[in-house]
Amino acid sequence: MRNLVRRRIVEPLLGQLRQGITPARLALTLALGLALGAFPVLGVTTVLCAAAGLALRLNQPAIQVANYLAYPLQLALFVPFFQAGAWLLGADPVSFSLSQVRAEIAADAWGAVGRYWEANLRAVAAWAVAAPPFVALAYLGLKRALGLLPLPRQDPAPAR
């Protein structure tokens, strides 16, 4: 596992740093990728990360790596975001029993879509509240960690 992490995560990050991206810029890219990767709507995080990367001129491979690394986080936070969104906006919490969801879809597919669409919007609201402090903290931690990585010294450009 250690070799896999080093080969798939650490080495590509070191490669980015060696190519000239600053630790601060890479930290911002990774922090945004992780936050956007936890967005509580399945199937849209790749597009969100690509758009953010283009808009902010961030490294696309790095933001997508962070997005994919965040997938377990997205799944783990899916229900908590739904519950937090309901609490935040004063709505009834949505239960997520698979048998109940199946029964609702079988009984009234459009009604179920509407019910879960509204709940998903509330989850997005909860994510929007949680994401900025997460990005700030992740940025600070990643900037410090990336600054500690061993990089080869680059010779200064010869004076002309």
Domain ranges of the chain: 2-147
Rounded to whole angstroms, how far apart are CA atoms 8 and 115?
A: 40
Q: What is the pTM of this model?
A: 0.82
- For 95-118, what is each residue's pLDDT tens digit? 777 788 788 888 988 888 777 888
Containing 1, the helix (H) or strand (E) segment is none
Rounded to whole angstroms, how far apart are CA atoms 77 and 93?
A: 15
- For 28-84, what is each residue's pLDDT tens digit? 999 999 999 999 998 899 999 999 999 999 999 899 999 999 999 999 998 899 999
